[in-house]
Chains A and B, each alone.
Chain A
Amino acid sequence: MAGYVTVAAVLAAGVLLVTAAMVARRLLAPRAPVPAKLTTYESGVDPVGEGWAQTKVRYFVYSFLYVVFAVDAVYLFPWATVLRDARLGGASLVEMGIFVALVVLGLGHAARRGLLRWM
């Protein structure tokens, strides 16, 4: 538990670092906001339309896939610590094999349906 107290202290030190740096910037950096400076950068021309533009999101498939595999990875870690246990070892190897095979089946399905190809 003592380790986590140190981790918390390190995080606090980090927050302190950021705060101190921002105070230093306050004291040292100039501040001269003018409207032209505060406009959104768009390669030198006036920004067109809304800042939050619409874009075709073709990345969502990857986040779905990620969720599937992330669940898989979460179960792998506890398994890593018990695999050497003589009472569990062999059987758990087969079980995990089946589990991973199911997940790989999902990836194979996604690949076959062309989800891993760029459209």
Chain B
Amino acid sequence: MLEVVLRAAAVLAAFLVLPLLVGQTEHKVMAHMQGRLGPMYAGGFHGWAQLVADGVKFVQKEDVTPARADRWVFRLAPAVALLPYLVALAVIPLSPSVVGAQVDASVLLVLAVMGVGIVGTLMAGWASANKYSLLGGMRAAAQLVSYELPMVLAVASVALAAGTLSLTGIAAAWRPWWLLWQLPGALVFLVSALAELQRPPFDMPVADSEIVFGVFTEYTGLRFAFFLLAEYAGIVVLSLLFAVLFLGGWAGPLPDVLGWLWTLLKGFAVAVVVIWLRVSWPRLREDQLQRLAWVWLVPIALVQLAVTSVVVVATR
């Protein structure tokens, strides 16, 4: 019992710290890529406490629920968007021993709970009773549904290669030559993960120059902060997932005790790539977005699946 409580507390702590780290990195990396300094004052040293200060600010802001909104759905939506990432983070292993909850079919669990996050966005889009929110919600639904598929297929390919549905098992079975063998699947996964996060270049659902802020238009204060936290928690979860599935997780030259450090470093590197892509790419149009998913990613993922299964049977 005590162990369960401690594990839950540890996962919660990681969930509150890692997204802030990624968020601060985004502030600084993005600023320097654009020839700015980024936050410099909060906390003294290079503005390290900027996001903590943001949190303190958000909690003191008035929480407005529009009169026309579907009250309870509107209020629940941020939590529904946020909590799936917490559960996903719990089952992602940093090393065979450093894992929140040891679950056999962790791959399936992660994919399933991340699907629930979509419902949060849809709830927000519908319940706001705002035209911008509704359009944003429709766009989000279409995008998430389309990109869920190549992502699932790419993950299935790795599960096939390892012959197991456990994230720990997949990272343990990983060999360096998989980098080449699973490369198309890895790229498909990275692109669909970006789309899943609704970050640029896949930020049609929140395109500020077209539909204000999509599903977030009516949100204020802490509830809006929860949506932001969900986005950064999503980056953490998907980056770590990429590191575990495609980069071998804790495989590295340091002794096994420090394996968790490797997973974190690899995940962090992926997160920096996610930030980099945001800074350097323009937004995709809705039709280009759907085309990319159905005409490119799904066929590539299917070909990857065929290649994987043939190699598995041939080298058995």
Contacts and interface: CB of A to CB of B under 8 A. Distances in A.
Interface of A: 2-7, 9-15, 17-18, 21-22, 24-25, 28-33, 35, 37-43, 47, 51-53, 55, 57, 59, 62-63, 65-66, 69-70, 73, 76-77, 79-81, 83-84, 86, 89-90, 93, 96-97, 100, 104, 107, 111, 116-118
Contact of A69 (B11, B134, B298, B306): B298
B283 to A, nearest CB: 16
A20 to B, nearest CB: 11
A63 B145 contact: yes
Interface in B56-91: 59-69, 79, 82-83, 86-87, 90-91
A40 B44 CA distance: 40
Report, as a range, how many residues of chain B touch the other chain.
35 or more
Interface of B: 4-5, 7-9, 11-12, 15-16, 59-69, 79, 82-83, 86-87, 90-91, 100-104, 107-109, 126, 128-132, 134-135, 138, 141-142, 145-146, 148-149, 152-153, 156, 159-160, 163-165, 212, 217-218, 221-222, 226, 286-287, 290-291, 294-295, 298-299, 302, 305-306, 309-310, 312-313, 316
A93 B160 CA distance: 12
A33 B4 CA distance: 42
A14 to B, nearest CB: 4
B62 A76 contact: no
25 contacts: A6-B4, A7-B109, A9-B8, A13-B12, A14-B12, A17-B86, A24-B59, A28-B59, A40-B129, A40-B130, A41-B66, A41-B132, A43-B212, A51-B69, A57-B138, A66-B146, A77-B156, A83-B312, A84-B163, A84-B312, A93-B310, A104-B299, A116-B294, A118-B290, A118-B291
Nearest to B9: A13
Contact of B90 (A10, A84, A93, A116): A10
Contacts of B310: 93
B129 A14 contact: no
Given A3-B103, A18-B226, A81-B163, A118 B287 contact: yes
A72 to B, nearest CB: 8
A53 B134 CA distance: 8
Contacts of A39: 66-68
Contacts of A31: 62-63
A39 B8 CA distance: 40
Q: Nearest 7 CB-CB pairs, A to B?
A: A51-B129, A118-B287, A6-B101, A59-B142, A3-B103, A9-B8, A38-B67
A90 B312 CA distance: 10
Contacts of A33: 64
A37 B64 contact: yes
Among B69, B109, B222, B226, find the residue whose CB has the most chain A CB atoms closer than 10 A: B222
A65 B149 CA distance: 10
Contacts of A117: 287
B103 A62 contact: no
A80 B149 contact: no
Among A10, A40, A59, A111, find the residue whose CB has the most chain B CB atoms closer than 10 A: A10
A7 B91 contact: yes
A39 to B, nearest CB: 7
Contacts of A70: 148-149, 152
